[in-house]
Chains A and B, each alone.
Chain A
Amino acid sequence: AQTVTQSQPEMSVQEAETVTLSCTYDTSENNYYLFWYKQPPSRQMILVIRQEAYKQQNATENRFSVNFQKAAKSFSLKISDSQLGDTAMYFCAFMKRNGNTGKLIFGQGTTLQVKP
């Protein structure tokens, strides 16, 4: 069974600074997706970034980038130039690719506070 672990329950960063959120996972699969989702206090889960395991290049989306280390089963999220609107709970998630069921397995989440 796959598991996802986020070891940082809470983090804070000053506005305009850079912060890195950690995520590790355990799987015997070779073909899968990894995601970071953001859940603001308004509670709607929003996709931040997605990585396909077969791609060696790390995904980037504007101020958001990942450091994907497949052998180490590590998938960290870097937020550059942090903004107040980045304050939210962040979830790392795993999905087996090409499975019959696209089931997301989530970590416990990291609450990020961006301070002015």
Chain B
Amino acid sequence: AQSVTQPDIHITVSEGASLELRCNYSYGATPYLFWYVQSPGQGLQLLLKYFSGDTLVQGIKGFEAEFKRSQSSFNLRKPSVHWSDAAEYFCAVKGGYQKVTFGIGTKLQVIP
């Protein structure tokens, strides 16, 4: 079975500071990995995905994520956070032919 853990429920960062959101997965092989963002009252928007190849993945809105097999992690990063990045972020994992499993989400607050 596959699972995904987002250990941080809430994170607060100052505008302009760097950001790292943690995601750990459990799956017997290399899964497909995703990060989504959800603004209040909206659906989920795909930020980036990892299927194979380069372990550093670039996404939209200046986000990137790094796949680390040894740590079973897929952490999301952004060098400089903007107030508009305040939202909830979901990591998701898909192992082989299984359906997608989502993490519980991390709420990001950005303070001026």
Whether both chains belong to one complex is answered with: no
Give me the interface of A with B, judged by CB distance under 8 Å: none
Give me the interface of B with A, judged by CB distance under 8 Å: none
